[in-house]
Amino acid sequence: MHISLASDSLDGIAPALAAEVERRGHTVTLYGALAPDGRADWAWCCSSAARDVAEGRSDQAVVCCWTGTGASIAANKVAGVRAALCADAVTAAGARRWNDANVLALSLRLTSPQVLTEILDAWFAAAPSTEPEDAANIAYLREIR
């Protein structure tokens, strides 16, 4: 898969994020502090990564800021993106399964290297639910204005 990655700083897990995603066999596009010449402000870099997903340049994205909140808000402003702020593996798996989340938002402050590994394991292993009620919820998200 092609994964877009964005972080507004190089704090916490940010320096290891690209290597961890690439280690899993994915190719990456980098934004913000992760890119040599990217604008590092959270709203700009995280929405850029999310736009890659919405426009089909990436399959998924991982966006990060100090709390993860701004990263998830910026990503969710992009039509077609379902970003989930996940602090643990169970939440990440549920976000993929029940919400068909296509952007993972992480807190640079709270996510340890071990928890990052667990979250990414769960995120990449989970698949969207095929249950009719789950599909109906995802379809309805496109209608909400």
Q: Report pLDDT digits (tens) over 23-80.
A: 999 999 999 999 988 899 999 999 999 999 999 999 999 999 999 999 999 999 999 9
Distance, in Å, from the CA atom of 111 to the CA atom of 98, rounded to the nearest integer, reads 22
What is residue 12's DSSP assignment?
T
The predicted model scores a pTM of 0.96
Q: Report pLDDT digits (tens) over 114-126.
A: 999 999 999 999 9
Distance, in Å, from the CA atom of 113 to the CA atom of 118, rounded to the nearest integer, reads 9
Instruction: Give catalytic status of residue 46 as yes or no.
Output: no
What is residue 68's DSSP assignment?
S
Q: Out of 45, 46, 65, 86, which one is annotated catalytic? A: 65
